[in-house]
Structure 1
Amino acid sequence: MEMQRISRTEDCSPFPIPGLAADILHMRVKEGSKIRNLLRFATARMQAEARDSNGTSLRQVVFSGSGRGVTKTITCVEILKRKVGGLHQVSKLYYKTVNEVWESPQQEAPGITMERTVPAICILLSKDPLDPWESGYQPPQTLSSSTEDAERRGGLLRTAQSPTSQQTAKRLCLDDWSVCPP
């Protein structure tokens, strides 16, 4: 007997991030959402040229997703941070209650209502500084070429010319434990 989902409802809990404006841009990411469509809309609204009805540019956006949409939500945020730049971030993980109603194609079989708890994420991106003491806060990324050079000198990044440990390791002959020629 194959069941078919006929409805799905999520609890409408408030955002877990305190102090959000009521009219903030909310990008709700679902499992089937297209990343390029979400980013095209959010990027246009966050760019300096985009103005709202009051003539001011959008300063903040919230991305949220639950269940299988969590990874897609994070992907959207990371891409937008690289496109727009200088964005402060606050991320919150929480759980959401989802109610699903399943029905059998046979009329005599009873329907089933399931209540599940699924992981969810809510990420605020802001052009304006946010409270650095808020849990989940990340400052804007400032990876410049001088930072990359410092990381390379510190051995964090490998250049194309630097040999790997596998290339510089000596080979041992197992029969007499001497170093074998390469």
Structure 2
Amino acid sequence: MENYRKANTIEQPCPCPFPDLPSDTPEVRVKDGSKIRNLMRFALSRMEEETAASADHEGSEVSVGTGDNLCRQIVFTGVGQSVAKAITCVEIMKRRIHGLHQLTKLAYRTLQDVWEPLEPGAGLDSLTVSRNVPSIWVLLSRDSLDKNQPGYQAPGSFDALWIQALKEEAATPRHGQRRKRGGTGTGRAEVGGRGKGPRKHPGRPGDTRKPPGHAGGGQEGMNV
């Protein structure tokens, strides 16, 4: 592939795994270069009325929601490296708006990379490489969802996970204590400073005695 360069990437369409969604359900497609701030501004503007009003005051170009066009459901999607960013947006959304039901679906999506030859006149043909990358679909809904579906998460269930993680972290603080003990370099520095002190201390009286000797005061006393 040293004689080729990647021209573009074609993402094959993937059907939505939530077929019964209303037609006006917004879909937030998270990309690698997407900013979480912009994504959350749009998502909250469609699900939260107060945020929509504040976003309007900020001069956002996104069409904000009002009491008439607020949605009950929203979908987040991410492909490849943007999967982690999509999950981050979902967790922020759940912390901001309480009582959201979550349904997660995982799949693979096909990406086609088109490679063009560096020298068109070299007689090389363009290449198309297909690869399958993981993708995620997350549905957040104010209304209740089917609890029997795989990937369902009830509202507030993530709180128990965070509480358990905090308890485990608080119960095992040994690693942090070892680092604190090992990091007490200030005490060693003080000991080293004390060791350097006696070396400098004899020199200081000698320095103070030398000027009188050089001035002749000490030699006159010895002659007397």
Q: TM-score range, shorter-chain basis?
A: 0.7 to 0.9
Give the CA deviation at 1:45: 1.3
Aligned to 2:167: 156
Aligned to 1:95: 108
Amino acid at match of 1:106: E
State whether structure 2 residue 26 is matched by structure 1 residue 15: no
Among 115, 124, 128, the alignment partner of 2:130 is 115
**Further displaced range: 82-91 or 44-53:** 44-53
Give the CA deviation at 1:157: 5.4
Instruction: Give the TM-score normalised by the residue count of structure 2.
Output: 0.62
The structure number with the bigger radius of gyration is 2
**Separation (CA, whole Å) in 1 of partners of 2:108 and 2:28:** 18
Identity %: 42
Q: 1:137 to 1:163 in 2, by over 3 A?
A: closer
Aligned to 1:33: 34
Structure with the higher strand share, 1 or 2: 1
**Separation (CA, whole Å) in 1 of partners of 2:89 and 2:5:** 31
Give the CA deviation at 1:158: 5.8
Aligned to 1:42: 43
Give the CA deviation at 1:121: 0.4
* Structure 1 spans left out of the alignment, 5+ residues: 168-182
**Separation (CA, whole Å) in 2 of partners of 1:87 and 1:18:** 19
Q: 1:30 to 1:163 in 2, by over 3 A?
A: closer
Aligned to 1:75: 88
SS in 1 for 2:167: coil
Among 48, 52, 57, the alignment partner of 2:70 is 57
| Paired positions, count | 159
Give the CA deviation at 1:17: 2.5
State whether structure 2 residue 121 is matched by structure 1 residue 133: no
Aligned to 2:187: none
- Checking the alignment, whether the CA contact within 8 Å between 2:17 and 2:105 is kept in structure 1 is yes
Amino acid at match of 1:68: Q
Query: What is the RMSD computed on CA atoms of the aligned residues?
Result: 2.8
**Further displaced range: 126-135 or 45-54:** 45-54
Structure with the higher helix share, 1 or 2: 2
Q: 1:76 to 1:2 in 2, by over 3 A?
A: farther
SS in 1 for 2:15: coil
Aligned to 1:171: none
Q: 1:54 to 1:14 in 2, by over 3 A?
A: farther
**Separation (CA, whole Å) in 2 of partners of 1:158 and 1:64:** 32
Q: 1:163 to 1:20 in 2, by over 3 A?
A: closer
